[in-house]
Amino acid sequence: MSQGTAGNIYAPVYRQLDASFVVSYVETQQLPDALGYFGGVPLTDAMAAFDYSIEHYNNGKPFMLADHSQGSIVMAGLIALYLRDKPEVYERMIAAYLIGMPIPETVYELFPHMKPALNADDLGVIISYNTNSPVIDGTDPFAYPSNVLINPISWVTDGSYAPKEASKGGIIVNDDGTFVDAPALADAKIDRSTGTGL
């Protein structure tokens, strides 16, 4: 765990699934089988690490969760199971920033305590956005229709366009490992037909 100016960061290491394994399952239309594996070792590791952080470091403070891609699936599992069974901990979650893999509507139906973000000031919600290229050669096996996305620049759920000038920007890592601020780095727009952002 490290301490920052805005809060403490707890970033544990956990065992992930091999990406080529997951893609091979998705491409052969066996996505449910592939996703089932996330509930094994990856989720067990993440839940154990999160439980340890809550017991030893959190001290009853509010917290945020942030993950990307495969980690977003694992974190959705943690919210679905661990936080469902520990509502006193869930009450302190500000939001979960789960980017790079859309959380399907069926998850919210199966676990009604999980709520998607609908506005910029929602609390205890999942912020879901899966970025994609505006032009894709072929099909994206991880894209499917979704109505539970929110634009991370404008914080709206419709398909309106948010120009890059409206973005606070990002940080780029140079080849030498140094970081550079990159204002107005990217724009964003939700495409509900694919469940992705453009």
pLDDT tens track for 109-128: 888 999 999 999 999 999 98
- How far apart are the C-alpha atoms of 34 and 74, rounded to whole Å? 12
Report the pLDDT value the prediction gives residue 104, as an integer from 0 to 100: 77
Residue for token pair 């998607």 = 116
Classify residue 157 by burial, with Cβ atoms within 10 Å: 0-12, 13-18, 19+.
middle
Low-confidence ranges of the chain (pLDDT < 70): 1-5, 19, 21-39, 134, 136, 138-146, 195-198
Cβ atoms 43, 83 nearer than 8 A: no
Euclidean distance between the first and the last CA atom of the chain, given in angstroms as a whole number: 34
- How far apart are the C-alpha atoms of 196 and 25, rounded to whole Å? 20
- How far apart are the C-alpha atoms of 100 and 76, rounded to whole Å? 12
Is 0.95 surpassed by the pTM of this model?
Answer: no
CA 136 to chain CA centroid, Å, is 22
